[in-house]
Structures are given as C-alpha cells and as structure tokens.
C-alpha cells in the first residue's frame, strides 16, 4: 500500500479514537487528554508501534496548529471586563507560581545533589504549564465562573513568565560557571516583545474586519486564516507563537467585543486538531525514561507539585482571592508539556555537558505531569465549584 492511503487510514482511525476517548471521558470522568495520551502510548513506540512514520512526522506541524488555536482562545478570555474583575488575581497568582516554582525546585534539586547550574535551569523549566491540556480539562469540566476565568487568564500569560524565568536562569547558570552570557536576555526580550508586536499587528486590523462575514464557511476561513498567519509569521520571526496568538485573540476580543463568532468557529474546528496532537504526543513519549530518573526525578515531581500549590496559595493571598480558591490555583496548573521540552532543548544546547540530564529529566517528568495534571485540574475545578455552592 502506498503512503497516501496509509496516511488517510491512520488519520481516520486516530480521529475515531478521539471520539471514543470523548465518550469514555464523559462516562468515567477521566480527562480526555489523559485518555488520548494513553491511546498514543499504546499505539506508539512505547507500545505496539502501529503509527506510520509519515503520520508521526505530522506531529510538529499539528502541535503548532493546535497550540496556536488554544492560545488564540485563551487570549479571547483576557477582556477588559475579565481584567477589571480578576486582573489582580491573574497577575499575582501567575507571578507567584512562577517565582515559587523556580525557587523551590531549584533549591530542592540542588540539595539532593544536582549541580547548581542544572538545578537552576530545571527550576525555570518547571515554571512552564501546558496550555492545551489545561484548556481542554477546563472545557471538559463544563464549569463556568470566577475561578475558571482566573485560570484561563493565568494560563494565557504563563508562557511569558516562563520565558523570562528561563532566560534569567541561563544567564545566572553561566555566571555560576564563571561566564556571563547576556544574549539570552536579549533573545527573550525579542521573543516576547516580537510576539506582542505580531499579535497586535494582526489583531488590530482583524478586529475591524471580523464579524462582517456571515456564519459558516466564510467566517471559518477567516478565523483559520488569522490563526495560521499568526503561527507562520511568529515562527518566521523566531518569536513565541503562543504569545503572538494569545495577543491576537486578546486584541480582537477587546477592540471588537461584539464580534465573538470568530472564536466560536475556532472552538468548533479545534477538537480534531487536538485529538491528533495528543495522540501523537503520547506516541512520541518514551516511558522507559520514567524508570531512569530515579530519586532526582521523584524529587522534581514532588517539588514542582508542592511549589505550584504554595505559589498559587500565596498568590491568592496577595490578590485577596476567596479563601476557598487559594489552595487550588497551583494544583489546577500541573500539566507540563511542549513549552518545557522546548526550554530543555535550548538548555541542552547551552550546557552540552549536562544535556542528557536536562532533556531526560524534562521529558520523563512531562510524561508524569501530562497523565496526572489534567486529572488534577478537573478535580480542583469541581472542588472549588462545590465549595462555592456550600
């Protein structure tokens, strides 16, 4: 059989598997993300190795498409009304989670024997959150309310804090080795600033044009065009496509607040991309690494979980958030994936002597957090909603 039929058959099977995962998720209350990742593990290299190479090769482009859509929708949650009501909580909680996570994980890993520069890098990597898994867990919960609005805002800007933390960590890590390389700060400045510029440059004209088309195919084409254009220009300019697409969504939501149809169209088309993304992500995971990380990996998982809890709780205190919400902010933000792995790859390039430890630790613990994180997110949302009603 030639490549084209194999590719089409495989994509068809994966999409139908996504439907099954959705049904199982509704009946068992398990996160769809976890089920899809498990499916990917079973049919991927760690399992029966059933996914053709040409399908697995689509992972990079599908991940960009899926994550750009997620960020575009998260950006739409950063409206003036949301920021007026919850802006203090969004900024305080997100910043405290990043700061506490970096401090606790770095210090803890150093105390168990990890070299200080590597411990600092892994602490910065730990600040990253997986927006796709978190967003899907929020959607699957079916809940609405102030806590959900805050979570969406925190996830939307989390990438910026992570990039800044990682860039500072690289500079300090070089300093601990007796060197000073400030180019990472300049790179981070461009990656964040350039993303905001691209998002604004696309979002402003789009805000005045969107909503003028009828529902259906024309509007769907417009929405997809904006998402793909943002992703493509961001990668061409070497800036964060997550921040750029978030900015595009935020600008449209604020400048054209009466036109929400573009966001609804993305919501309608997003799920097939997410299915393929998560299944192929699961297929690419190497479960063998879990058995190799040992005590250090276990310490990382415990430290990051504890740090997220403490950071969210402290941020909630600073923001004067309701007491019932404070213990659950950080626990709802445990998923860790692509952004963390990207940071690890950069860290491995900058510190090749420690490349195996940095990449191995990040990928192995990502497996754990991608399985555990979405379940924790859904549990915390339901817990907070129950406490709010009591």
> How far is residue 136's CA from residue 31's CA, in Å, rounded to a whole number?
8
pTM of whole model > 0.75?
A: yes
139 pLDDT tier (thresholds 50, 70, 90): confident
For the cut 60, the answer to whether the pLDDT of residue 215 exceeds it is: no
Q: How confident is the model at residue 201 (pLDDT cuts 50, 70, 90)?
A: very high
CATH architecture of the region 3-389:
Up-down Bundle (1.20)
Neighbouring residues of 383: CB distance < 8 A, sequence distance ≥ 6: 328
- The C-alpha atoms of residue 338 and residue 281 are separated, in whole angstroms, by 9
364 CB burial (10 A radius; 0-12, 13-18, 19+): buried
CB 203 within 8 A of CB 245: no
Phi, psi of 351 (to 5 degrees): -130, 70
Nearest to 366 by CA among 340, 345, 342: 340
> Could you give the CA distance from residue 331 to residue 62 in angstroms, rounded to a whole number?
28
Give me the mean pLDDT over the 278-284 stretch: 75
- Going by C-beta distance under 8 Å and a sequence separation of 6 or more, which residues neighbour residue 285? 37, 40, 41, 44, 46, 363, 366, 367, 370
* pLDDT of amino acid 96: 92
Average pLDDT over residues 222-242: 86
Q: What is the mean pLDDT of the chain?
A: 80
pLDDT higher than threshold 50 for residue 216: no
Q: What is the pLDDT of residue 111?
A: 92
pLDDT digits (tens, 9 = 90+) for 241-251: 888 888 888 88
Reply yes or no on whether the pLDDT at 8 is more than 50: yes
Task: Look at 67-81, 252-266, 336-350 and tell me which has the smallest mean pLDDT.
Answer: 252-266
pLDDT in tens, 335-385: 887 678 778 777 877 788 877 788 778 877 877 888 888 889 889 988 887
Domain boundaries, the chain: 3-389
Measure the CA–CA gap between 348 and 128, rounded to whole angstroms: 17
Query: Is the pLDDT at 115 greater than 60, yes or no?
Result: yes
pLDDT at residue 95 tops 80: yes
Rounded CA Rg of the chain: 20
- Asked if the model's pLDDT at residue 264 lies above 70, the reply is no
Cα 65 to Cα 227: distance, rounded to the nearest angstrom: 8
Q: CA 75, CA 263: separation in Å to the nearest integer?
A: 10
């Amino acid at each position: 059989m030639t490549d084209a039929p194999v590719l089409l058959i495989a994509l068809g099977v994966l999409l139908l598997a996504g439907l099954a995962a959705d049904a199982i998720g509704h009946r068992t209350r398990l996160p769809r993300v976890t089920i899809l990742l498990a499916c990917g593990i079973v049919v991927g290299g760690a399992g029966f190795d059933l996914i053709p190479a040409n399908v697995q090769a689509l992972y990079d482009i599908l991940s960009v498409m899926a994550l750009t859509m997620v960020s575009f929708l998260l950006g739409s949650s950063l409206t003036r009304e949301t920021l007026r009501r919850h802006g203090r909580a969004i900024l305080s909680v997100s910043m405290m989670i990043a700061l506490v996570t970096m401090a606790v994980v770095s210090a803890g890993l150093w105390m168990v024997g990890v070299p200080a520069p590597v411990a600092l890098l892994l602490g910065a990597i730990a600040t990253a959150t997986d927006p796709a898994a978190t967003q899907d867990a929020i959607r699957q919960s079916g809940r609405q309310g102030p806590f959900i609005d805050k979570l969406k805002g925190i996830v939307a800007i989390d990438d910026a804090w992570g990039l800044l933390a990682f860039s500072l960590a690289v500079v300090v890590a070089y300093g601990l080795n007796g060197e000073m390389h400030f180019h990472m700060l300049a790179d981070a400045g461009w990656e964040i600033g350039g993303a905001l510029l691209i998002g604004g440059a696309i979002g402003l004209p789009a805000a005045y044009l969107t909503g003028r088309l009828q529902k259906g195919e024309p509007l769907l084409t417009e929405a997809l065009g904006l998402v793909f254009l943002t992703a493509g220009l961001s990668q061409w300019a070497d800036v964060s496509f997550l921040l750029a697409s978030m900015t595009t969504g935020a600008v449209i939501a604020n400048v054209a607040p009466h036109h929400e149809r573009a966001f609804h169209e993305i919501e309608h088309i997003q799920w097939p991309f997410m299915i393929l993304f998560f299944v192929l992500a699961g297929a690419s995971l190497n479960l063998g690494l879990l058995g190799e990380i040992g005590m250090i990996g276990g310490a990382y998982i415990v430290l990051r979980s504890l740090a997220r809890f403490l950071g969210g709780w402290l941020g909630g205190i600073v923001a004067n958030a309701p007491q019932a919400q404070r213990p659950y902010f950080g626990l709802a933000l445990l998923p860790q994936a692509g952004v963390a792995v990207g940071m690890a790859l950069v860290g491995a390039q900058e510190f090749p002597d420690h490349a195996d430890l940095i990449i191995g630790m990040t990928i192995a613990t990502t497996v754990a957090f991608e399985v555990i994180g979405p379940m924790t997110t859904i549990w915390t949302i339901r817990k907070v909603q129950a406490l709010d009603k009591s």
